[in-house]
Structure 1
């Protein structure tokens, strides 16, 4: 028994020594790359973004929502994009139109003209349970071009939703870059996706000219580096992390994690934050961006406390 205990302690000591040696070795040879700050992030923070235009107040991703959010002085909009059958980029979240319109079917199987015939205010209910936007011309689908041209003073956080393995997903990074380049809006857009491969594809076109968000893999790698003590081993490829406060019971809102990312010039944004006290707590910890369904709540917070 004593021999087993001695062997186990020896193994633990050797393992600890190896890990310690690895830490020292990598600390000497590794130096994390600190991001240059893109023009997109050179405005006064914190940024307040209306999630899908402020989907708690009006039909998501429609002019009705964007217009209403604008009245509450948001800095910009967090939006999603998909590609239509005729290769137009529309501002839309779901793969199907069923949840938010009076129609049915996949966005990628419909032309822009077909999508324009649908009522995207059909299912929206206000606090009283009524449908104030049914039949409204302000509750129609929008193209990304229309959004960028209609709100020239807003920052736009663009999330690519189409699966990279689909036909539309394979095309949309290049189509998106060409549109941004044509409109000359490089300094007021951020491009991100849950798919790291979509961000990488877009980056092939954009280079370092446009701000990028982090996909799930990069966020995971950063947190592992932070939690394990090997922070010096992680070099970010993104300019911002757009993350929830918690993921699978892992707290991503620790001040230490925020400070670590900030030391690399990575802005930290949190979604979807709909309570005033939580917004305030995250901002106090150093959050750069708050994404909310309710821009009226964030408006009151900024007026009262900032």
Structure 2
């Protein structure tokens, strides 16, 4: 038994020595690279972004929601995009229109004209359970072009929703890049996706000229580099992390984790934060961006404390 324990301790010591040597070797030879700060991030922070417009106050992703959000002086909008059957980029979250409109079907199987005919205020209910926007002329789907042209002073956080293995997903990065270049809004947009493959495809066109977010894989890589002690090896590929503050018990709002990313010039944003105290806590910890369904709450916080 003693011999077994001695063998285990010896093995543990050898493993520890190897890891220690590896850590020291990489620490001495690695060179940390920080991100160049894009114009998108050079406004005064913290940024308050309205999630799908003011989706807690008006039908999500409609002009009604974006107009309502603008009333509360948000820095920008966090939106989702998908490609229609006729290859127009529309501002919508779900793959199907059923939840948010009076229609049915997959976005990629519908033309822009067919989507424009739908009522996206049909299902929205206010706090009293009423449907005040049903049939409203502004409760319509917007194209990304319309959003960018109608709100020229707002930053736009764009999330690509179409999956990379789909036909529409394969087209989206190039169609999106061409639209951004045509409108000359490179400094006003941030492009991100849960799918790292979509971000990587878009980067093939944009290079380093447009701000990029991190996909799920990159967030995991950064967090576990930070926790492992080998954070000096982490080289960021994104300009911002748009993340929840807790995932399956992992506290992504750890102040030291935020500082780790900040030191690499990676802006840290949190979604979806609808509690005023939590907004304040995250800002105090160093959060660069707060994404909320209720910009009226964030507006009150900013006026009161900042």
> Quick one: distance in 2 between partners of 1:46 and 1:272?
15
> Quick one: distance in 2 between partners of 1:207 and 1:5?
55
Aligned to 1:295: 295
1:236-274, CA deviations, whole angstroms, 9 ceiling, x for partnerless residues?
000000000001111000000000000000000000000
Matches within 5 A, 1:36-185: 36-185=36-185
Name the TM-score, length of structure 1 as normaliser.
Answer: 1.00
Shift of 1:295: 0.2
Partner SS state of residue 121, structure 2: coil
Shift of 1:32: 2.2
> Quick one: distance in 2 between partners of 1:285 and 1:215?
23
> Quick one: distance in 2 between partners of 1:31 and 1:234?
10
1:25-59, CA deviations, whole angstroms, 9 ceiling, x for partnerless residues?
11112122100000000000000000000110000
Shift of 1:76: 0.2
Q: How many residues align?
A: 306
> Quick one: distance in 1 between partners of 2:193 and 2:248?
19
Partner SS state of residue 137, structure 1: coil
Aligned to 2:225: 225
Aligned to 2:263: 263
> Quick one: distance in 2 between partners of 1:73 and 1:261?
27
Unaligned runs of 5+ in 1: none
Partner SS state of residue 65, structure 1: helix
Aligned to 1:234: 234
Shift of 1:164: 0.3
> Quick one: distance in 1 between partners of 2:73 and 2:95?
30
Residue 279 (1) aligns with residue 257 (2): no
Partner SS state of residue 134, structure 2: coil
Partner SS state of residue 158, structure 2: strand
Aligned to 2:198: 198
> Quick one: distance in 2 between partners of 1:19 and 1:299?
49
> Quick one: distance in 1 between partners of 2:247 and 2:124?
28
Runs of 4 or more above 4 Å deviation? none
> Quick one: distance in 2 between partners of 1:237 and 1:28?
22
> Quick one: distance in 1 between partners of 2:176 and 2:294?
28
Aligned to 2:254: 254
Shift of 1:134: 0.2
Unaligned runs of 5+ in 2: none
> Quick one: distance in 2 between partners of 1:132 and 1:233?
53
Q: CA RMSD in A?
A: 0.4
